[in-house]
């Protein structure tokens, strides 16, 4: 559905993005992840025909974003970053403009507006001036304008930024409900959000894509070692820790900072040492409170990828 | 021209929702009222004197003494206020980022330029129409030449559209409304004074500059003369600046 091929954008002498290539299939929900200034918005602006790439090409539904701009634009719903809206208009008036601009038939106009108002939970504020609405409602109006005329592709630039936790959950739920009938590309720098909503993650940093995969696969690939967290009732003796360290497959044993009896055993990736660790502790007469395998969170992966990238760059330069 | 109607309606809503329009209309009408009153008052004094002097009576002329100066005065007021009316058209959208919506909806650039221009011209017609009660008042008390009135208003309308087209262009150049207004006022003033160059350019150049000058083409309208040269001048002026605006807006799509 969305094909980006070697997208490159220069802002004068600055590089916005470089050689960004990815594909999004029909009905997929893909998260675009990266720190601020990584090039997420630039890529989205190119895909939505807001600006042309310096090099490379982008197609949506087989239509070129540069050559067939009007047809492409009628197939996408776009929520720009910072949600620009006509603040002098009322919500309903604004949506009416959006609907007629997107070519909704005059007879179906009211029904379509009622539909997006209901989907985005705007019933209470439909008659109010957008400039008087709270940030959360404005965000929903932004989402509502993207949904008008039910476009097959949705491009959402940071849809949950600046919202309070309940609103974030509502918007996420809304996006989850849209899965299936829409192809969705959303950007975020909040990692758990992407892990929750998206089937696939594209991690971008410094204008280049550094990883593309499902959240689960990324975790699996990057986990070079397994961490086992152990908690004892009393303080762990140095003798026990030394003995654990001598187990085959254990890389290191470290005390955790938060709890006196807690320590972390790092093992190599291949073996699960939990039974041996438990056995050794119990045999030594210590009382075991907790034993669990710690997975890498998406945050860790992200940090790892971004820092690895920096180290590589430093090495090469 | 895909989406012209929806854009035009949106522009009208935005125009009439912002206080700028009301402030401009209010100021324009107050000053127009003042000029109208002072012209009529002057005409009154002269007609009193003429009642004792039959020679002066022949010189009394409502068109020359009230209508013509009134239209010329209005054109000067317009020179100051038209840039305020047009400055927000593109500049505001660029500043608030709504231009990103405008450019990513399936709307053609021609439609956006045409809709913005038509909307601001509509607002201008509303303001101009609000000066009509004065003329009706004149009609009750005296016998104004309606042909002069009509041609005068046509002249003001054409000149106004020229001002607004230029203002639309300067608004498309920047995201700062003040800059748009100052640029448009400066350019309009240049087109205003370009006809005053007789003393230091040759006769040939003078005639050329005279033709370029904005006010010199209003003169015949205020006398009740419809000269095709003047009408063509204003229409070309409008088309030229609309064309420049369209090019400027379109450049966004290919500029790196």
Q: What is the pLDDT of residues A198-237, one digit of tens each?
A: 888 888 888 888 888 887 777 666 666 677 888 888 777 7
- How close A162 gets to chain B, by Cα (Å)? 17
Domain that holds residue B79: 4-254
Q: How many angstroms separate the CA atoms of A249 and B115, rounded? A: 73
Task: Flag whether A230 is in a domain.
Answer: yes
CA atoms within 13 A on the CB side of A110: 1
Task: Flag whether A165 is in a domain.
Answer: yes
Pair A208, A239 in one domain: no
Inter-chain residue contact B106 with A73, CB threshold 8 Å: yes
Pair A99, A195 in one domain: yes
* pLDDT value, residue A298: 63
Domain that holds residue A285: 224-294
* Interchain CB contact of A93 with B (< 8 Å): yes
Pair A75, A102 in one domain: yes
Q: How many angstroms separate the CA atoms of A102 and A95, rounded? A: 10
Phi-psi region of B115 (alpha: psi -120 to 50; beta: other; left: phi over 0): alpha
- CA of A27: how far to CAs of A43, A102, A147, A183, B237, in Å? 20, 22, 15, 4, 51
Pair A117, A183 in one domain: yes
For chain B, what percent of residues have pLDDT higher than 70? 99
* pLDDT value, residue A314: 61
In whole numbers, what is the pLDDT of chain A averaged over residues? 84
In degrees, to the nearest 5, what angle opens at C-alpha B211 toward C-alphas B210 and B214?
A: 85
Domain tally for chain B? 1
Pair A188, A262 in one domain: no
Q: What is the pLDDT of residues B156-205, one digit of tens each?
A: 999 999 999 999 999 999 999 999 999 999 999 999 998 888 778 888 88
Task: Flag whether A302 is in a domain.
Answer: no
Q: How many angstroms separate the CA atoms of B221 and B153, rounded? A: 8
Q: Classify burial at A227, counting beta carbons within 10 Å of its beta carbon; exposed 0-12, middle 13-18, buried 19 or more.
A: middle
- Provide mean pLDDT across the span A305-315: 63
Residues of A in contact with B256 (CB under 8 A): 10, 52, 54
Is the Cβ–Cβ distance between A156 and A140 less than 8 Å? no
Is the Cβ–Cβ distance between A79 and A157 less than 8 Å? yes
User: Closest by alpha carbon to A11, among A42, A36, A38, A40?
Assistant: A42
For chain A, what percent of residues have pLDDT higher than 90? 23
Q: Is the pLDDT of residue A13 over 80?
A: yes
* Interchain CB contact of B10 with A (< 8 Å): yes
Inter-chain residue contact A80 with B3, CB threshold 8 Å: no
Q: How many angstroms separate the CA atoms of A257 and B217, rounded? A: 86
Pair A140, A237 in one domain: no
Domain tally for chain A? 2
Pairing relationship of beta strands A200-205 and A29-33 according to DSSP bridges: parallel
Task: Flag whether A205 is in a domain.
Answer: yes
Residue A129: closest C-alpha in chain B = B17
User: Closest by alpha carbon to A21, among A45, A34, A3, A41?
Assistant: A3
pLDDT bracket for residue A316 (50, 70, 90):
low
* Interchain CB contact of B103 with A (< 8 Å): yes
Q: Is the pLDDT of residue B77 over 60?
A: yes
Higher-pLDDT residue of B59, B206: B206
* pLDDT value, residue B181: 96
Inter-chain residue contact A89 with B10, CB threshold 8 Å: yes
User: Phi and psi dihedrals of A231, rounded to 5?
Assistant: -125, 130
Q: Is the pLDDT of residue A317 over 60?
A: no
For residue A204, give the DSSP letter.
E
Residues of B in contact with A101 (CB under 8 A): 3, 6-7, 10, 105-107
Strand order in the sheet with A288-294: A250-255, A262-268, A225-232, A288-294
pTM: 0.84
Could you say which of A160, A179, A214 is where a domain stops? A214
In whole numbers, what is the pLDDT of chain B averaged over residues? 91
- Provide mean pLDDT across the span A124-144: 90
Could you say which of A195, A214, A233 is where a domain stops? A214
User: Closest by alpha carbon to B195, among B210, B207, B205?
Assistant: B210
Q: What is the pLDDT of residues A250-281, one digit of tens each?
A: 878 888 776 677 888 887 766 677 888 888 88
Higher-pLDDT residue of A148, A298: A148
At B119 the three-state DSSP class reads helix
* pLDDT value, residue A312: 62
Task: Flag whether A312 is in a domain.
Answer: no
Inter-chain residue contact A49 with B103, CB threshold 8 Å: yes
CATH of the domain at A260: 3.30.70.100
Inter-chain residue contact A49 with B104, CB threshold 8 Å: yes
Q: Is the pLDDT of residue B247 over 60?
A: yes
Is the Cβ–Cβ distance between A249 and A271 less than 8 Å? yes
For residue B215, give the DSSP letter.
G
* Interchain CB contact of A15 with B (< 8 Å): no
Which residues 6+ apart lie within 8 Å of B206 measured at CB?
Answer: B197, B198
Pair A128, A242 in one domain: no
* pLDDT value, residue A272: 74
Q: What is the pLDDT of residues A22-79, one digit of tens each?
A: 999 888 899 888 877 888 889 999 999 998 999 899 999 889 888 888 899 999 999 9
Pair A196, A252 in one domain: no
Pair A19, A44 in one domain: yes
Higher-pLDDT residue of B58, A291: A291
User: Closest by alpha carbon to B150, among B158, B162, B142?
Assistant: B158
Pair A208, A237 in one domain: no
CB atoms within 10 A of CB A14: 8
For residue B224, give the DSSP letter.
T
Task: Flag whether A308 is in a domain.
Answer: no
Structure tokens at A199: 């089937």
- How close A1 gets to chain B, by Cα (Å)? 18
Pair A153, A236 in one domain: no
- Provide mean pLDDT across the span A177-183: 84
- How close B10 gets to chain A, by Cα (Å)? 6
Task: Flag whether A219 is in a domain.
Answer: no
* Interchain CB contact of A92 with B (< 8 Å): no
Q: What is the pLDDT of residues B131-169, one digit of tens each?
A: 999 899 888 988 888 899 999 999 999 999 999 999 999
pLDDT bracket for residue A180 (50, 70, 90):
confident
User: Closest by alpha carbon to B196, among B186, B208, B182, B210?
Assistant: B210
ipTM of the complex: 0.86
Task: Flag whether A316 is in a domain.
Answer: no
Q: Is the dihedral of CA B60, B62, B66, B68 positive or negative?
A: negative
């Amino acid at each position: 559905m969305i094909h980006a091929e070697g997208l490159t954008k220069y802002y004068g002498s600055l590089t916005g993005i470089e050689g960004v290539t990815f594909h999004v299939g029909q009905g997929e929900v893909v998260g675009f992840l990266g720190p601020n200034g990584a090039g997420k918005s630039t890529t989205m602006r190119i895909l939505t025909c807001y600006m042309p790439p310096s090099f490379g090409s982008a197609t949506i539904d087989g239509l070129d974003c540069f050559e067939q701009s009007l047809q492409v634009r009628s197939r996408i719903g776009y929520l720009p970053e910072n949600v620009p809206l006509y603040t002098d208009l009322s919500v309903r008036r604004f949506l009416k403009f959006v609907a007629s601009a997107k070519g909704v038939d005059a007879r179906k106009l009211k029904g379509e507006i009622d539909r997006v108002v209901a989907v985005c939970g705007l019933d209470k504020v439909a008659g109010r001036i957008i400039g008087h609405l709270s940030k959360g409602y404005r965000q929903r109006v932004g989402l509502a304008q993207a949904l008008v005329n039910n476009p097959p592709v949705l491009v959402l630039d940071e849809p949950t930024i600046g919202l309070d936790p309940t609103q974030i959950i509502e918007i996420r739920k809304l996006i989850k409900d849209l899965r299936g009938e829409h192809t969705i590309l959303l950007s975020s720098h909040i990692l758990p959000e992407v892990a929750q909503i998206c089937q696939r993650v594209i991690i971008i940093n410094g204008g280049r894509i550094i990883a593309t995969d499902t959240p689960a696969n990324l975790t699996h690939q990057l986990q070079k070692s397994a961490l086992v967290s152990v908690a004892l009732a009393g303080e762990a003796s140095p003798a026990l820790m030394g003995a654990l360290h001598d187990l085959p497959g254990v890389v290191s044993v470290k005390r955790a900072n938060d709890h006196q009896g807690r320590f972390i055993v790092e093992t190599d990736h291949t073996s699960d040492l939990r039974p041996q660790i438990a056995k050794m502790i119990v045999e030594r007469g210590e009382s075991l409170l907790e034993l669990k395998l710690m997975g890498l969170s998406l945050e860790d992966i992200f940090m790892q990828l971004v820092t690895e990238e920096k180290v590589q760059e430093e090495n090469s330069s | 021209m895909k989406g012209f109607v929806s854009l035009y309606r949106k522009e009208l809503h935005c125009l009439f929702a912002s206080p700028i329009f009301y402030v401009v209309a209010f100021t324009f009408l107050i000053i127009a009222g003042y000029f109208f009153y002072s012209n009529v008052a002057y005409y009154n004094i002269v007609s009193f004197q003429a009642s004792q002097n039959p020679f002066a009576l022949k010189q009394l002329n409502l068109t020359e003494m009230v209508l013509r100066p009134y239209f010329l005065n209005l054109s000067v007021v317009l020179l100051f206020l038209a840039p305020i009316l047009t400055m927000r058209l593109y500049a505001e959208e660029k500043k608030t980022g709504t231009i990103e919506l405008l450019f990513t909806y399936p709307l053609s650039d021609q439609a956006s330029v045409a809709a913005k221009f038509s909307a601001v011209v509509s607002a201008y017609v509303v303001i101009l129409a609000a000066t009509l009660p004065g003329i009706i008042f004149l009609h009750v008390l005296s016998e104004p030449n309606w042909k002069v009135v009509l041609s005068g208003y046509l002249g003001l309308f054409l000149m106004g559209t020229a001002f607004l087209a230029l203002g639309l262009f300067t608004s498309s150049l920047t995201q700062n409304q003040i800059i748009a207004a100052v640029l448009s006022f400066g350019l309009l003033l240049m087109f205003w004074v370009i006809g005053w160059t007789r003393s230091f350019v040759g006769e040939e150049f003078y005639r050329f500059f005279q033709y370029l000058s904005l006010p010199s083409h209003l003169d015949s309208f205020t006398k009740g003369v419809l000269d095709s040269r003047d009408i063509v001048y204003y229409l070309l002026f409008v088309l030229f600046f609309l064309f420049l605006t369209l090019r400027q807006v379109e450049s966004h799509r290919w500029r790196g």
